[in-house]
């Protein structure tokens, strides 16, 4: 898409930096633009209400607006987004201000028109300086979003504007202008303060279905026993590294399927046929924190070096949608499976570690999903469970 650029005069060699924009007269130079901006500041700072001064200022403002109106009309014709087009047309309309009657209304018109023309000239100067850079950045972001699931901005996921500025090494205001253009084109979606790629509604539904499936598996595995309500939404959200809105939708789906009751208590599964009674076995001795932390190789902590750092990296990669290849996800998944074995090797009778260990077994018992971003999420869920198990084993009063 063509965008306003600085063109050299006809028959000349290199581009003349004094030219401003195509669509205007040849006399419209950068120096004249700066001169008119200075004139705006003089008019705004002056508080002259005499009829002659008001008429003189209104005439000067109308002349300045009419001088640069062709540039606004040209920019509106080539604007890539509807909002930009409407903005430039609104600026072009300044060249034909409405009728003014009365001295007070005329002075108010001076102040209003001076601020409007100043905003126009500032936008025009910004377009001359940053317009080509914004167009190039918009094209790069559009191509990145077009790669879909194979790219770094899959459908429905958040697009962090600040991270984009760091990645592309561009000023933040240029990235925001490029993002605004893509929002107008429908490639990105603005949902509250967050910017996401198109398809965020479908992704939220899929994410809630994934979490509902995992909660159902945890109920079956005994992580959430019948008779005890589920943890609050914020706790479930921390376990599954999602937002509370996702866990809330997942819980509502399980309630609709009558897997949990309205008070968030798991329904007991149908009772199987009673097997013949087995001889009672002696209960294993209680495992204390001192027993865990003593004994050299018997303790789980010496056998899992680097667990905290690796888990935090995996969780951060999912939270901030950092580029992770499928091979990296598989390598990290195998690492966490190896780290889970020493933590699950010794029988624990305390309720806290037992519940966290059941979470780890449930997460590790599922295969790694084929989709790259769901594999990253699956790994982050296992990493969260391993961190919680490690914390439960290292404190006197385990977390429940």
In the predicted structure, residue 101 carries a pLDDT above the cut 50: no
Query: Residue 235 and residue 392: Cα distance in Å, rounded?
Result: 15
- Higher per-residue confidence, 333 vs 110: 333
206 SS3 class: helix
Q: Where are the beta strands (DSSP E) in 56-153?
A: none
pLDDT at 283: 37
CB 50, CB 106: distance < 8 Å: no
Strand (E) or helix (H) holding 196? strand 194-197
In the predicted structure, residue 17 carries a pLDDT above the cut 70: no
Average pLDDT over residues 125-149: 82
Residues with Cβ within 8 Å of residue 143, at least 6 apart in sequence: none
Residue 191 pLDDT grade (very low, low, confident, very high; cuts 50, 70, 90): confident
125 SS3 class: helix
In the predicted structure, residue 221 carries a pLDDT above the cut 90: no
Average pLDDT over residues 139-153: 82
Average pLDDT over residues 311-335: 87
Which residue in 375, 349, 345 sits closest to 363, CA to CA?
375
The phi, psi pair for 244, rounded to 5°, reads -65, -25
Which residue in 124, 92, 133, 98 sits closest to 112, CA to CA?
98
- Higher per-residue confidence, 320 vs 175: 175
pLDDT at 32: 81
Average pLDDT over residues 191-206: 81
In the predicted structure, residue 295 carries a pLDDT above the cut 80: no
Query: Residue 22 and residue 4: Cα distance in Å, rounded?
Result: 7
Average pLDDT over residues 14-36: 63
The percentage of the chain sitting over the pLDDT mark of 90, rounded to a whole number, equals: 12
pLDDT at 104: 47
Upper half-sphere CA count for residue 280 (Cβ side, 13 Å): 2
Residue 75 pLDDT grade (very low, low, confident, very high; cuts 50, 70, 90): confident
The pLDDT mean for the chain works out to 76
The 10s digit of each residue's pLDDT in 45-64 is 777 777 788 888 888 888 88
In the predicted structure, residue 20 carries a pLDDT above the cut 60: no
Query: Residue 232 and residue 214: Cα distance in Å, rounded?
Result: 16
């Amino acid at each position: 898409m063509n965008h306003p650029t600085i063109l050299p005069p006809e028959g000349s060699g290199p581009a003349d930096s004094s030219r401003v924009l195509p669509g205007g007269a040849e006399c419209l130079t950068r120096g004249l633009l700066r001169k008119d901006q200075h004139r705006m500041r003089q008019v705004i700072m002056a508080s002259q209400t005499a009829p002659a001064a008001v008429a003189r200022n209104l005439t000067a403002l109308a002349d300045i607006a009419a001088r640069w109106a062709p540039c606004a009309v040209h920019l509106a014709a080539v604007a890539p987004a509807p909002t930009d087009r409407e903005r430039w047309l609104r600026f072009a309309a300044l060249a034909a201000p409405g009728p003014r009657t009365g001295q007070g209304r005329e002075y108010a018109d001076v102040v209003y028109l001076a601020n409007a023309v100043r905003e126009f000239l500032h936008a025009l100067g910004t377009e001359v300086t940053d317009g080509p850079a914004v167009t190039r950045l918009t094209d790069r972001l559009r191509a990145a979003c077009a790669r879909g699931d194979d790219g770094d901005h899959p459908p429905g996921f958040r697009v962090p504007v600040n991270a984009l500025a760091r990645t592309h090494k561009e000023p933040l205001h240029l990235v925001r202008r490029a993002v605004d253009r893509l929002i107008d084109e429908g490639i990105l979606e603005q949902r509250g303060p967050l910017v996401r790629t198109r398809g965020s509604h479908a992704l939220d539904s899929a994410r809630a279905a994934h979490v509902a499936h995992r909660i159902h598996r945890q109920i079956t595995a005994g992580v959430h026993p019948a008779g005890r309500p589920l943890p609050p939404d914020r706790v479930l959200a921390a376990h599954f590294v999602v937002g509370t809105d996702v866990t809330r939708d997942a819980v509502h789906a399980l309630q609709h399927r009558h897997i949990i009751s309205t008070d968030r208590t798991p329904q007991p599964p149908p009772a199987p046929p009673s097997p013949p009674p087995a001889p009672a076995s002696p209960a294993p001795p209680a495992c204390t924190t001192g027993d865990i932390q003593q004994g050299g190789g018997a303790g789980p902590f010496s056998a899992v070096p680097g667990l905290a750092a690796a888990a935090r990296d995996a969780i951060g990669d999912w939270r901030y949608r950092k580029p992770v290849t499928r091979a990296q996800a598989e390598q990290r998944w195998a690492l966490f499976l190896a780290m889970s074995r020493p933590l699950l090797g010794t029988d624990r009778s305390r309720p806290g570690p037992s519940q966290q260990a059941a979470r780890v077994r449930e997460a590790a018992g599922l295969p790694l999903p084929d989709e790259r971003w769901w594999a990253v999420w699956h790994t982050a869920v296992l990493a969260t469970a391993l961190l919680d198990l490690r914390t439960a084993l290292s404190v006197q009063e385990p977390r429940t």
